[in-house]
Amino acid sequence: MPAYPADMIGIDRWVRWQLIDGRKVPLQVSGRYASSTDSGTWSSYREASRAKVGDGLGFVLDGDGFGCFDLDDVLVDGDLLPAARKFLDEHESWLVEISPSGKGLHVWVYADSQAGWVRDIDGIKVEFYTRGRYMTMTGVKFQQ
C-alpha cells in the first residue's frame, strides 16, 4: 500500500481514473463516470484500491485541508529541472508523486480551501487545487 496519510485514506474521497481521448477521466468503482463535486460517486480507499476499472486511483479535493500542486513536464529523462528543484525546496510537502505521464509531479500539501489557479513559475507550468478537482494517484514517490 502506498504511504498515504491515515487521514487521507480514512475518508471516502477516492475514485478510479482512465485515460480517454487524452483526458484523465474520473470513474466510480463500478466503472461509471465519477464527479469531483458529487460525493455520491466517491468511494473508500479500500474499495477504490481493490477495483479493477480504469488505469489507477484518484483522490478528490474537497476543500478540507488537502492541496496539490501539479507540475507539468519537469522531469526530462528522469532528471528534475532546476526550476522544479527550486519549487520543491520552497514548498513544504508531505508527499511528492510522479504523475501518470512520468514527466510531471504532484506535490501534496496541507492547505486551506481556496480557488484553484494556474501559473508560470520560473518557466514551469504549475497548477494548484484544494477543492472541486480530483488528482490522479500513482503510488510512485519522487525521491527528492
Q: Which of 73, 106, 112, 120 is catalytic?
A: 106
- The single residue listed with the C-alpha cell 498515504 is 4
Q: Which of 47, 55, 72, 73 is catalytic?
A: 72
Q: Which residue, among 34, 118, 18, 11, has the nearest Cα to 69 in the 3D structure? A: 118
Pairing, β 124-129 against β 66-71: antiparallel
Question: Is 91 marked active-site?
Answer: no
Instruction: Report d(CA 118, CA 69) in Å as an integer.
Output: 10
Q: Which of 47, 55, 73, 127 is catalytic?
A: 127
Q: Which of 70, 92, 120, 122 is catalytic?
A: 70
Question: Is 62 marked active-site?
Answer: no
> CB-hemisphere CA count at 13 Å for 27?
22
Question: Is 92 marked active-site?
Answer: no
Instruction: Report d(CA 31, CA 120) in Å as an integer.
Output: 35
Tell me the catalytic residues.
70, 72, 106, 127
